[in-house]
Amino acid sequence: MATDTAADAAEGRRARDDVWVAAEEGDMSEASAGRPLLFRTMKVKGSILHPYRFLILVRLVAIVAFFAWRVEHRNHDGVWLWAMSMVADAWFGFSWLLNQLPKLNPIKRVPDLAALADRHGEAVLPGIDVFVTTVDPVDEPVMYTVNTILSILAADYLVDKYARYLSDDGGTLVHYEAMLQVASFAALWVPFCRKHCVEPRSPENYFGMKTRPYVGGMAGEFMSDHRRVRREYGEFKVRIDSLSSTIRRRSDAYNKGDDDVHATWMADGTQWPGTWIEQADNHRRGQHAGIVKVMLDHPSCKPQLGSSASTNKPVDLSNVDTRLPMLVYISREKRPGYDNQKKAGAMNVMLRVSALLSNAPFVINFDCDHYINNSQALRAPMCFMLDPRDGQNTAFVQFPQRFDDVDPTDRYSNHNRVFFDGTMLSLNGLQGPTYLGTGTMFHRVALYGMEPQRYRAENIKLVGKGAELGKSTPFLNSIPDGAIQDRSITPVSVDEGLMSDLATLMTCAYEDRTSWGRDVGWVYNIATEDVVTGFRIHRQGWRSMYCSMEPAAFRGTAPINLTERLYQVLGGQAAPSRCSSPTATLSSPAVGSTLYSASLTSTCRSTRSPRCSS
């Protein structure tokens, strides 16, 4: 089976090579000056593209001739019916034209990881903050979330160069204690992945594979290590699945004899500050205090080798770096009378909190059911962000969404190949693809609402920014550092002063009379906050890149029945109407591509699982 899969992959690559050819790179002065180009640009062969363009021209002539005939042969007996049909035909013709314009010049850009390694050694890669959002442990199963987080912790990126944040918008103790279990199991899983070059690094998906070709350098130890880790993962799953009942039994024991308060209790004997099982004032889904818990501290910059095999630790990690990335749990404050703005509000809180804890110049966000499928996934977008040609002007890099558990016939069109492998490559030839809500790496300062030519640290003026970004002095002072593109992550001391500043940034009232949700951060008051956020960034002059790699960088969970699929489709239909309405305040410099990508992105968003839409 492994041989068949490799053969199919090779055949697919040959088919793609028959379509794409290298494009001229334009000005090569940067490369000649000692700054190598970090990605290659490919275009469709002229023998394929030119006939397609000619066909589009023929169709356009036919449409114009049809409209001319309709005008000359109007129906005088039913003018109003004729006028309505003409308006409808004109709209469909205009939509068709917008659909075809980007496809006249499809572009594919391929990251060059080898060039990145040559130019940017391991020690000088910039820092990354990784955001994951979740809400309900029932609608969004905890096992999806913990596997996503484990795959991030095990990614092939410098351990001290990235930090991982989980936003639990439900404020449940289940998610918090699941993170404690993740931190414990990751001490075994992450070194195992590094030792044996495991792919993918989501344990559920890895252990679910029928064949696993070994590519590591310690084949003699692999089988025994594999059996041990698989057994530990089985016990880990049991602990995760039993968290709800464990917490309930513990809380019942603490609440025994107290008829007034039915609190939810943590393992250390203190009351959980978030949402209780039996909800009460200040402990409800929409009413609880903000919570920040650093689960794993920022690691040191020097490798820390593990111990040799022993009775208690049968896996030999003596030659493996056992450090783990920083892991932070966040649940923002919620109060009655405030619109929490769902996922967009949670993302903006994470953006502010991370600015004080790690302040990496780049951030990447995931839905809770999208795991890292390719361990090099965090390196690939750096090829675009650090490229000497357009890296300074690239706001975000968008990856395609790939899905597991899709039936062979793909009856619900979950793969959406036309969009991800056609439309997005077409938009790549213009200002770039739009933001799809997950699997996207951003320049931090682009989310702060700054224009590309002004984002360099020495050009950032903080005077008067309080009215736009809020009046937290530590947060405002962090902005110039976050704009330094080559900046790493500097460890901070989590003391009472810092916790007080973080609590301020998470309050509901912090965004009052500021530009958050409009010109800063993720956009509010619209169901398709991801699409409109991308449009706003494009409007400010930034461009974006589309990055597709093999194996797929990220994979998610697809709808398993027609009901879920229709629910998602209906949820995404607001995009074209809201984004192209006369009252819309956001538009891309290329109006045609904006309207076109709005309508197509509504279809794309429908592939996202409602379980992790926050």
Residue ranges for the known binding site for Mn(2+) are: 343, 367
- The first and second tokens of residue 614, run together, are 């926050």
- Answer yes or no: are the C-beta atoms of 505 and 478 closer than 8 Å: no
Rounded to whole angstroms, the Cα distance separating 510 from 469 reads 9
Long-range pairs for 595-598: beta carbons < 8 A, 24 or more residues apart:
595/98, 596/98, 596/99, 596/101, 596/102, 597/102, 597/423, 597/427, 597/433, 597/434, 597/531, 598/434, 598/531, 598/535
Neighbours of 581 (CB within 10 A): 9
- The first and second tokens of residue 107, run together, are 């572009």
User: CA angle, corner 537, sides to 536 and 539, nearest 5?
Assistant: 65
| Strand-pair partners of 305 | 321
Rounded to whole angstroms, the Cα distance separating 580 from 592 reads 10
Q: Report which of 244, 131, 144 is spatially closest to residue 609, judged by C-alpha positions.
A: 144
Q: Report which of 51, 41, 53, 47 is spatially closest to residue 102, judged by C-alpha positions.
A: 53
Helix axis angle, 219-241 to 142-153, nearest 10°: 140
Residue 530 annotated to the active site: yes
Residue 421 annotated to the active site: no
SS3 374: coil
User: CA angle, corner 75, sides to 73 and 80, nearest 5?
Assistant: 130
Could you say which of 129, 136, 168, 169 is catalytic? 169
Per-position DSSP letters for 118-184, written without gaps between them = HHS-GGGPPPEEEEEEE--TTTTTHHHHHHHHHHHHTSSS-GGGEEEEEEETT-BHHHHHHHHHHHH
Rounded to whole angstroms, the Cα distance separating 494 from 178 reads 22
CA-to-CA separations, 393 to 112, 452, 457, 506, in angstroms, rounded: 19, 5, 14, 30
SS3 292: strand
Please, what's the b/e burial string for 79-90 (b: 16 or more CB within 10 A of its CB; e: otherwise)? Answer: eeebeeeeeeee
- Answer yes or no: are the C-beta atoms of 384 and 111 closer than 8 Å: yes
CA-to-CA separations, 235 to 143, 175, 230, 315, in angstroms, rounded: 13, 18, 9, 16
Binding site for UDP-alpha-D-glucose: residue ranges?
A: 140, 169, 342
- The first and second tokens of residue 39, run together, are 């990605």
Active-site residue list: 169, 530
